[in-house]
Amino acid sequence: MLDKTGIAKRIAQEVRDGYYVNLGIGIPTLVANYIPQGMNVVLQSENGMLGMGPFPFEGEEDPDLINAGKQTITEIPGTVYFDSAMSFGMIRAGKVDLTILGAMEVSENGDIANWKIPGKMVKGMGGAMDLVAAAKNIIVAMQHVNKAGESKLLPACTLPLTGVRCVKKIVTELAVLDVVPGVGFVLLERAPGISVEQIKNATLGKLIIEGEIPEMKIN
Amino acid sequence: MLDKTGIAKRIAQEVRDGYYVNLGIGIPTLVANYIPQGMNVVLQSENGMLGMGPFPFEGEEDPDLINAGKQTITEIPGTVYFDSAMSFGMIRAGKVDLTILGAMEVSENGDIANWKIPGKMVKGMGGAMDLVAAAKNIIVAMQHVNKAGESKLLPACTLPLTGVRCVKKIVTELAVLDVVPGVGFVLLERAPGISVEQIKNATLGKLIIEGEIPEMKIN
Amino acid sequence: MNKVVSGADEAIRDIEDGMTLMLGGFGLCGIPENCIAALVRKGVKNLTCISNNAGVDDFGIGLMLKTRQVKKMISSYVGENAEFERQLLSGELEVELIPQGTLATRCLAAAYGMPAVFVRAGVGTEVAEGKEVRNFDGVDYLLEHAFNAPFSIVKAWKADTHGNLVFRKTTRNFNQPMAMAGKIVIAEVEELVPAGALDPDQIHVPGIYVHRVFKGENYEKRIEQRTVRAKS
Amino acid sequence: MNKVVSGADEAIRDIEDGMTLMLGGFGLCGIPENCIAALVRKGVKNLTCISNNAGVDDFGIGLMLKTRQVKKMISSYVGENAEFERQLLSGELEVELIPQGTLATRCLAAAYGMPAVFVRAGVGTEVAEGKEVRNFDGVDYLLEHAFNAPFSIVKAWKADTHGNLVFRKTTRNFNQPMAMAGKIVIAEVEELVPAGALDPDQIHVPGIYVHRVFKGENYEKRIEQRTVRAKS
């Protein structure tokens, strides 16, 4: 079974040289730490920045420089700032190659729910609806089951949707799966020490298992 | 009767302190020369500039700095450059207070034709259609009659239209007229030495003459 | 073309009860601190605020929530605010949640004289309820309308006396499109310079969009999430 | 993120007969001289060129008209060009005339992922023929579609190796929106600097939009209307 770092490391393997990537809050943010040295990847922050650098050294925080998670960050050579309209313009125009975000639920046709639990507090969708509606390639980083032990990979989402038919891939503590609308969750890899049976038991939506399912390779 | 300079001088009286103004090619360009000293007026050039300055001194022409008529110009304190999308954005959003342009024909409901003579060469509308569709206040500077001696102030335009119901005022060598859709050309002022009768004879569209028509005051 | 006013109180003088305001900033980054303070001083009520966020309990728009001056928030993300939550649950406050890109684009539409735009965000979700859906080349879009607000209040880094604005780093966010979207645009800045002192190639918002500017005071610039790394 | 190519010939290597190109510039101001020369060298034919103007007889896009490489011009103003006129009257060349602001906004729509926009320009004129008209708040608008071109070719002043672009004075014109609108964007520049050498607050087109940059050579920058005043 993977921990959060493991999930981030596995997702980092999906990043390709030359990608512009938008990372959501939580596990996705960790992915930045595991992008191989020498690979040219630029991080987009939807509040208006390309070329997001690491957290500042203590005492060097700049209140005018934050990411979409409102964390203080830094710039790097090649950084560009722009306004929110251009930021979502480039997202909508498909210029961001990969979006990695968390989810509460994903359905077997790629619908995603990650912004609202009715009856509980509603914080708002922020940029998530824009990102999932526009990105060519969306990878969800999440736990396979929720705190109540219920599968988050469902035939259909039960929570209010963030977007429809948009998630391409899911990486959980148990598995890597492709999401193919009309087909289901296609199991690609098992986490170290996890059996196909365990993944089956944790997946409520249609799970496609073809041939031998390899174990993930993670450093 | 006014010459071109006279028309420009009379139109300059329509400019108010604090106006952003777009001047078309020809007589409208001359208007800039007669805006009273001390009046704060900023000229917009639709190719992407606010704060258009005068022509450069010989030898100081900059090929990267032209106006919408493709003439070399200069910048002044407060000049801003921007792209064509923003330029027409601000025009469409009604931020330009006054547009002055030439016309081949104006109809009594404010339609304007100034971009095309079918059968002759077509050069294109450039930014004229955008400007007349958007500006709150459009003044036409033109001759009252064409070279064939025919009135250019018509019941309806005969040439392909540039815009509909948009011209607010016309200044010609003979007169100043308001254009009121549903009413007609309302005669406001006569040019020096010109009689109401002469204006009547040169105007084919409905001309409204109420009370005594004063003579223009031009320095 | 002098757009300079004496300060925040003069800048907001004609903002009245029940009006709709656009307020720039993202989180607490680049918010118009001086104007918010002046709105609290003036005590105008029943405001509708279009702002990506709603501040925190004791800073930003949170200050206007505390004094119950806000009737409705139009935002994309309103977490981080306990007083907000209380008012929302008690029904004192209305909230309309809009995807962040749609929010930005409805500002841009107003700025560029477009009555409405088509966006994909929200298709198939509750955001689409009651909205026109239109298909272009096999993809569904929602028709979203331009904002139409009498006032925009933004924070810029520098302005010249003509109202030309320059922003710094990620404070540009919603400040730039909102500075072009309101009928009357108020900009508070850290540095006010004479016309001609800014590079004309490097102005983010041309002064034609801006009606009032003033040099703000005592910027706190509070940091919402102070994240740092250790010096190695 | 290195977007640097060796020069114009490499930059345009995969532009083929029959393609649609967006070409930046206004009149002869800020035109991609090196790429136009390379297109003439390559001899690609039957091009559709989206460009505000069509150059003059012996400069700018006029050079490609002379060699009959252009099948169709999509422009707002095409005067100043006798060869153009000849080809148009003889039926060798198609021309689609579009209001200048509509042309710019259809680039912006492509740049910002909007499938179509509503504009007032052309309502009630022959430009409106065959187009959808829609009324918002009592005003009629035309529905105009985003451009969808495989290539944009623009001229910038400076670029860094990531493809971040900066323009100078009124050369920004159509170069900026077109640099964000094509599927593949080629930028020729006067000065190419390392990533980090440009001020991140002062970049007009972020490199995410730009695919190939190179330092151009021998810019002529011809002036179309040399207007001067006497020294007093």
Q: Do C137 and D114 touch (CB under 8 A)?
A: no
The answer to the question of residue B186 being in a domain is no
Residue B121's pLDDT band (boundaries 50, 70, 90)? low
Asked if A85 lies within 8 A of C223 by C-beta distance, the reply is no
Question: Which residues of chain A are within 8 Å of residue C127 when distances are taken between CB atoms?
Answer: 125, 129
Verify B-A touch: 3 or more CB pairs within 8 A. no
Domain containing B67 equals 4-167
Q: What is the pLDDT of residue C11?
A: 98
Residue C232 pLDDT greater than 90, yes or no: no
In a 3-state reduction of DSSP, which class is residue B206? coil
Residue D85 has a pLDDT of 83
Compute the nearest-CA separation of C37 from chain D (Å).
28
Q: Find the CATH number of the domain harbouring C52.
A: 3.40.1080.10
Judge: A48–C100 Cβ closer than 8 Å, yes or no: no
Q: What share of chain B is helix, strand, coil (3-state, %, to 5)?
A: 20, 25, 55
Interchain CB distance below 8 Å, C229 and A162: no
Question: Which chain C residue is nearest to residue A63, measuring alpha carbons?
Answer: C223
Residue-range definition of the domain harbouring residue C179: 8-113+146-215
Structural domain contains residue B119: yes
Instruction: List chain C residues with CB under 8 Å of A134.
Output: 101, 120-121
Other Cβ atoms within 10 Å of B93 Cβ, number: 20
What is the domain count for chain B? 1
CB pairs under 8 A between C and D: 48
CATH label of the domain that carries residue B132: 3.40.1080.10
Total number of domains in chain D: 1
pLDDT exceeds cutoff 90 at A120: no
Put the strands of the sheet holding C116-119 in their side by side order: C133-136, C139-145, C116-119, D116-119, D139-145, D133-136
Q: Render pLDDT for C131-156 as a digit per residue (tens, 0 to 9).
A: 999 999 999 999 999 999 999 999 99
- Evaluate whether residue A185 is within a structural domain: no
Query: For an interface test with B, which of D100, D154, D191 has the most B Cβ atoms less than 10 Å from its Cβ?
Result: D100
Q: How far is C196 from chain B (nearest CA, A)?
A: 4
pLDDT classification of A121: cutoffs 50, 70, 90: low
In a domain, A151, yes or no: yes
Structure confidence at residue B18 (pLDDT): 96
What is residue A212's predicted lDDT score, i.e. its pLDDT? Answer: 96
Question: Would you call D164 an interface residue with chain A, using a CB distance cutoff of 8 Å?
Answer: yes
Q: Tell me whether C175 touches chain A (CB under 8 Å).
A: yes
Within a domain: residue A181? Answer: no
Q: How far is the C-alpha of A130 from the C-alpha of C217, rounded, in Å?
A: 36
- Residue C89: pLDDT band by 50, 70, 90 thresholds? confident
Given the residues B14, B46, B173, B212, select the one marked as catalytic.
Answer: B46
3-state DSSP percent of chain A in helix, strand and coil, to 5: 20, 25, 55
> Which value does ipTM take for this structure?
0.97
What local confidence, expressed as pLDDT, does residue C86 receive?
86
pLDDT, average across residues C43-51: 98
Q: What pLDDT sits at residue C32? A: 98
Tell if the CB–CB gap between C117 and D115 is shorter than 8 Å.
no
CA distance B190 to chain D (A): 32
Cα–Cα distance for residue pair B100/B21, rounded to 1 Å = 8
**Subunit contact D206:A86, Cβ cutoff 8 A:** yes
Give D-chain residues touching C168 at CB under 8 angstroms. Answer: 201
pTM: 0.97
Instruction: For residue A11, tell me if it sits in a domain.
Output: yes
Q: Is residue D40 part of a domain?
A: yes
Map residue C141 onto helix, strand or coil.
Answer: strand
Tell me the chain B residues in contact with residue C201 when contact means C-beta distances shorter than 8 Å: 81
| Chain B CB contacts of C146 below 8 Å | none
Residues of A annotated as catalytic (active site), given as ranges: 46
- Does residue B112 lie in a domain region? yes
A188: distance to nearest CA of chain C, Å? 28
- Cα C104 to Cα A87: distance, rounded to the nearest angstrom: 9
Residue D80 clears pLDDT 80, i.e. is over it: no
Would the CB atoms of B124 and D79 count as touching at under 8 Å? yes
Under an 8 A CB cutoff, do C117 and D117 touch? yes
pLDDT digits (tens, 9 = 90+) for C4-13: 999 999 999 9
Q: Do A94 and D113 touch (CB under 8 A)?
A: yes
Residue C130 covered by a domain: no
D175/chain C closest Cα distance in angstroms: 14
Nearest-CB residue to A133 (from C30, C120, C177)? C120
Instruction: Tell me if D160 and A78 make a contact (CB, 8 A cut-off).
Output: yes
Nearest Cα neighbor of B86 from C198, C209, D201 is C209
Chain C neighbors of B76, CB-CB under 8 A = 196
**Domain membership flag for residue D230:** no
B75 a catalytic residue: no
Asked if residue D167 is part of any domain, the answer here is yes
Q: Please indicate whether, in this complex, the C-beta atoms of C201 and B81 are within 8 angstroms of each other.
A: yes
Beta-carbon contacts below 8 Å between A and D: 67
Nearest CA in chain D to C140: D115
Closest CA of chain C from B160, distance in Å: 25
Are B126 and D77 in contact (CB < 8 Å)?
yes
In eight-state DSSP terms, residue B133 is H
Q: What is the residue-wise DSSP string for chain D?
A: ---B-SSHHHHTTT--TT-EEEE--BTTBT--HHHHHHHHHHT--SEEEE-S---BTTBTTHHHHHTT-EEEEEES---S-HHHHHHHHTTSSEEEE--HHHHHHHHHHHHTT-SEEEE-TTTTSGGGTT--EEEETTEEEEEEEPP--SEEEEEEEEEETT--EE--GGG-TTHHHHTTTSSEEEEEEEEEE-TTSS-TTS-SB-GGG--EEEE--------SB---B---
Q: What is the pLDDT of residues A28-72, one digit of tens each?
A: 999 999 999 889 999 999 999 999 999 999 999 999 999 999 999
Q: Minimal Cα–Cα distance from B45 to chain C, Å?
A: 13
Rounded distance between C-alpha atoms, residue A37 and residue A33, angstroms: 10
Q: Please tell me which residue of chain B has the smallest CA distance to D79.
A: B123
Q: Which of D117, D167, D172 sits opposite C114 (nearest CB)?
A: D117
* Structure confidence by residue, pLDDT tens digits, D146-173: 999 999 999 999 999 999 999 999 999 9
Q: Residue D101: its chain B contacts at CB < 8 A?
A: 46, 84, 87-88, 91-92, 127, 129-130, 134
Q: Please indicate, yes or no, if residue A174 is contained in any of the structural domains.
A: no
